[in-house]
Structure 1
């Protein structure tokens, strides 16, 4: 039953129904307490449903349980960057990059976290991000590279 609730919740999330996704994923989590995959999906559903603070709290729990998982760590890092908690964002990303040094998304997030305080290290993290299969990540890496090089982000 829990797997069905998870699948249905993710399907509702992908269909853009954050409220129903949240309901289903909360039920899935009750059946599988502490399941990192369910917790991560629920955090995404909560965010989609406009419950950003609860989403970030859940991402913190996911990160504590699975610190080297790239997606939840990147999502948590981005939430921290929104709050200008750049140092904490870099700390969240460190275990991911220790486990997967070439992960494009984690490198892009780390570059963002370091951009203000250590632009040279930030640039080094842009290299793997620029090789991402995701066109948006490549574009973001190129834009940040231009900013760090003192060019127009344009």
Structure 2
């Protein structure tokens, strides 16, 4: 992620969205969570409309909801504006981010050790740091199944300083 360059509509469409999960909307069907491949702070959910009235009013049966840093952003234009502002880190996020290594480590072992060290669960904090582009995850083959690994994003500490951390 180029933290100092301005993000534009062209920057967004130059990248792609990757499948990052699925949601169940019950009888209305499922939704897909997408994460931008080059702007990790940007994600979207494609979901079915909530009811027949919404479908009729909007003229579509599926909607795309954009989000930045894990929060709803409204339109793509609103999301682009939000991306041009550094992410805001909470004290808990800063405390965890400072402990995430720059090199890849197995997520479960890291999360368990850090939770014991800090005396609290850190899983949700790690998730919000990922949504803000400060940590990266990837799945790697493991003995029983694919295992998640984690590292601090290369520019995460610079992002934190820019955000006043």
Scaled to the shorter chain, the TM-score interval is: under 0.3
Say which structure is richer in strand. Answer: 2
What is the TM-score of this pair, normalised by structure 2? Answer: 0.23
Say which structure is richer in helix. Answer: 1
Computing the radius of gyration over CA atoms, which structure comes out larger, 1 or 2? 2
What is the TM-score of this pair, normalised by structure 1? Answer: 0.24
